[in-house]
Amino acid sequence: MNNLTGSIPTSIGNLVNLTSLYLFKNHLYESIPKEIGMLRSLIYLDLSTNSLTGSIPASIGNLVNLTTLYLGDNHLSGSIPKEVGNLKSLTVLALYTNNLTGSIPASMGNFVNLTILYLFKNHLCGSILEELGMLRFLIDLELSTNSFTGSIPSSIGNLVSLTRLYLSFNHLSGSIPEEIGNLRSLIDLELSMNSLTGSIPISIGNLVNLSNLYLSFNLLSGSIPEEIGNLRSLSDLELSTIVSRVQFLLL
C-alpha cells in the first residue's frame, strides 16, 4: 500500500529466513522472479494488486510451508503451474483478476487444507475438476467469469462446509446436480450466465441457510419446485429467462 514501482529484485531470494512477504497494492511490474522459490520458510505471500506480468513461476511449488498465497489483481498470464499442487499447507489461494489460461491442474486436488479458492476473472477453460470435491474444508469457491465448459461435477456435493459457490459467466452445460442439495451451509449460490439445462433440482430445498440464489440466464426448464419454499432465509432469487440473457448481451 505504497507507490513502489519497478520489478521485484531477484535478490529477494537471499532472504531465506523470511516467513511473510507483503508487497500488495503497489505499482510493481515485470514478472515474479523465479528466485522467490528459494524462500522455503515463507508462510504468507501477498503480491496482489500490482501490475505484475508473465507467468507464475514453477518454483513457487518449492514453498511447501506456504499457507496463504495472494497473486490476484495483476496481469499474470500463462497456465497455473502443476507445481502449485505441492503447496499442501495452503489454506488460501487467490489468483483472481489476471489473464491466466489453460485448465485447473489436477494437482490442486492436493489442497486438503484449503478454505478459500479464488480463480475468478481469468481465461481458464476445460472442465471443473472432480478433484475439487476432495477439498472438504472449502468455505468459499469462486470460479466465475472464465471459460469453463462441461457439467458441474456431482463431487461438488462433498463440499459440506461451503458457504459461497460462484460459477457464473462460464460456458457450463448439463443439469444442476442433485448433490448440490448436500451443501446445507451455503449462503450464496451463483450459477447464472451459463448454458445449464434440465429442471431445478428438488434438493435445492435443503439449502435452508441460502440468502442469494442466482440461476438466471441459463436454459433451465420445467416448473419451479415447491421445495423452494423451504428457503426461508432467501433475500434474492433470480430466475430470469434466456430471452433476458439475449437482451442483456445486446446492451
Higher pLDDT among residues 251 and 93, named by residue: 93
User: What's the domain range around 69?
Assistant: 5-250
pLDDT digits (tens, 9 = 90+) for 149-162: 999 999 999 999 99
What pairing do the DSSP bridges indicate for beta strands 147-150 and 51-53? unpaired
pLDDT over 60 (residue 244): no
CB 21 within 8 A of CB 41: no
Q: Model-level pTM?
A: 0.93
What's the CA gap between 93 and 142, in Å, rounded?
Answer: 11
The pLDDT of 209-225, averaged and rounded, is 96
Q: Which residues contact 189 (CB under 8 A, 6 or more apart)?
A: 165, 180, 183, 207, 210, 212, 213, 214
Query: What nine digits make up the cell of 206?
Result: 435443503
- Count CB atoms within 10 A of the CB of residue 151: 15
What's the CA gap between 135 and 29, in Å, rounded?
Answer: 33
What's the CA gap between 114 and 155, in Å, rounded?
Answer: 16
Q: Cα 187 to the chain's mean position, in Å?
A: 16
Q: Which residues contact 125 (CB under 8 A, 6 or more apart)?
A: 101, 102, 103, 146, 147, 148, 149
Q: What is the CATH number of the domain that holds 93?
A: 3.80.10.10
Nearest-5° Cα angle at 177, 214 to 155? 110
183 closest CA partner among 150, 154, 156 = 156
Phi-psi region at 108: left, alpha or beta (left = phi > 0; alpha = psi -120 to 50): alpha
How many residues can be counted in the chain? 251
Q: Which residues contact 10 (CB under 8 A, 6 or more apart)?
A: 33, 35
Average pLDDT, the chain: 95
pLDDT confidence bin for 223, thresholds 50/70/90: very high
* Residue type, position 250, single letter: L
Q: What are the DSSP calls for 87-100, one per residue? A: -TT-SEEE--SSEE
What pairing do the DSSP bridges indicate for beta strands 164-166 and 140-142? parallel
Please tell me the least confidently modeled range out of 91-100, 139-148, 213-222, 235-244.
235-244
Q: Count of domains in the chain?
A: 1
Distances, alpha carbon 88 to alpha carbons 59, 93, 147, in Å: 15, 11, 27
pLDDT over 50 (residue 251): no
